[in-house]
Structure formats: C-alpha cells, structure tokens
C-alpha cells in the first residue's frame, strides 16, 4: 500500500501539484489491489444497462469515500465525452483546499469492458495503469449515478447538478448499504 502512495505522490510532484481528482482515485484502486476485499459479501452488482450517449457530459461529485488523491478537494466534477476511436475522454477537475482554491485537473480515457450492460468500464490516466469504474446505481433520467469498484474500496455519488434532493440521497444510501458499502464513510463534497 505504501508503494502505491509513493508512486502517486511522485507522479503528482513531477506535475508540479498534487493531483486530487476522481480519476486518479480509480488508479489507486488498481495499485492497491484487493487489500480491502469485500469481507465475504455478495459480489457488487452493476445496473442492468447504461445508454452511453445519455451518460456522457458533466457530473458533479456529491459524495465519495475518502482517498489520498482527493484529499482537500472540493467542487469536484467529471466530464465524459466520446473520442473518435470510440473510447471515452475523461476530464476530472476540483478546487484544492476549498471552493476558492486552485483548480486541479486530470485527463484520461475510459473504455467499456462489459458491452452487454455498458456498466463496467476501465479508466486510465497514465499508461499502463487502469482501474475499475462500475456504475452500480443510476437515476431513471440519468440525474444521478453511483460508481464503485468490485472490492468496495471506492465509492462516488455523482449528479448532474451540484446538489441532490434529500429523499433521492436517502434512497441511494439504502441501496449502497444493501450492496455492502458503508454509507458512514462518505465525505460530502461542497460546491
């Protein structure tokens, strides 16, 4: 685990700033391997189907599990667009240290690994490392999405707007808990 932290911090220092964005958290999931495990719970389930063209666009992070790559990050967004090669361009951004802090960004790409559902993707921010991006909950109108990984080490609640209705959040929290995630670990993002 310490080695993955050193790799990520070294990468960030070479870029001149600590990159604290959503996408690099997926990278850390890969680097950390399965050390978190799923504690004997049933496997994480994704949604039945994702319509990619409806999923593309900008998402606001509502909440996340803590991770070293987003420490101090607020006003986090993820923007997805279709690339010419059929993969997905990823642009993650946040304000470091608070809402008025410097803007940090990371660019990467994602690709679908389960074409039956389009709900399991891989995300890469620098070669050769990639991480799992599983869509485990999705609003009927694509107004929110919940992203996790098969080991339950990472979790994000995303929305098309910077805030979600309390009833919607309560439903999401019930469903992630039923999937074996701990809602008590979530950090709530300011926008």
- Domain span at residue 106? 2-188
Q: How far, in Å, CA of 172 to CA of 65, rounded?
A: 14
pTM of the model: 0.80
Is the pLDDT confidence value at 34 over 50? no
CATH of the domain at 32: 2.40.128.20
Say how many domains are in the chain. Answer: 1
Residue with tokens 């607020």: 74
Give the whole-angstrom CA distance, residue 153 versus residue 45: 15
Residues 6 or more apart whose Cβ sits within 8 Å of residue 8: 24, 27, 28, 31, 68, 69
Q: What is the pLDDT of residues 58-109, one digit of tens each?
A: 999 999 999 888 889 999 999 999 999 999 999 999 999 999 999 999 999 9
Name which of 22-36, 99-113, 146-160 the model is least confident about.
22-36
pLDDT at 51 over 50: yes
Q: Which residue is associated with the tokens 């997805």?
A: 80
Instruction: Name the pLDDT band for 11 (thresholds 50, 70, 90).
Output: very low
Residue 118 scores a pLDDT above 50: yes
Above 60 in pLDDT, residue 26? Answer: no
pLDDT band at 111 (very low <50, low <70, confident <90, very high): very high
CA distance 162 to 90: 19
Strands 120-126 and 129-138: antiparallel
């Amino acid at each position: 685990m310490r080695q993955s932290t050193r790799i990520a911090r070294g990468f960030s220092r070479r870029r001149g700033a600590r990159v604290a964005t959503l996408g690099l958290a997926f990278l850390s999931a890969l680097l950390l391997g399965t050390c978190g495990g799923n504690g004997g719970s049933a496997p994480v389930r994704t949604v039945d189907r994702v319509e990619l063209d409806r999923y593309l666009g900008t998402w606001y992070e509502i909440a996340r599990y803590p991770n070293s790559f987003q420490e101090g990050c607020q006003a986090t967004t993820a923007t997805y667009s279709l690339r010419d090669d059929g993969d997905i361009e990823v642009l993650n951004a946040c304000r470091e240290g608070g809402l008025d802090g410097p803007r940090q960004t990371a660019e990467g790409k994602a690709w679908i690994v389960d074409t039956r559902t389009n709900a399991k993707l891989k995300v890469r921010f620098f070669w050769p490392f990639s991480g799992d991006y599983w869509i485990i909950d999705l609003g009927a109108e694509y107004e929110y999405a919940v992203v996790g990984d098969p080991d339950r080490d990472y979790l994000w609640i995303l929305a098309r707007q910077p805030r979600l209705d309390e009833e919607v959040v309560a439903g999401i929290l019930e469903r992630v808990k039923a999937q074996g995630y701990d809602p008590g670990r979530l950090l709530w993002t300011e926008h």
